[in-house]
Amino acid sequence: VDGGGLVLRLAEATGGPTQGPITLRWPIASVTETNLVGDDAQPVRAARNSFHVDAAPFEIKTYRVALAA
């Protein structure tokens, strides 16, 4: 948990491209994709309590998720 939100770090470990939804228990206000240290934020489209992820083989993805009040 980071300042009222979440930081999610996902690693693709099967060696193949992966895609799919990330669904949370809580409503999402916003999602940004960052680098490993939290810089270079790029907005990610979110709907209600989920967002979509695309990962290349062995890629590590980091997302900062702000939860809705």
Q: How confident is the model at residue 3 (pLDDT cuts 50, 70, 90)?
A: low
For the stretch 18-69, pLDDT in tens is 999 999 999 999 999 999 888 888 999 999 999 999 999 999 999 999 999 8
The answer to pTM > 0.85 is yes
d(CA 7, CA 47): 18
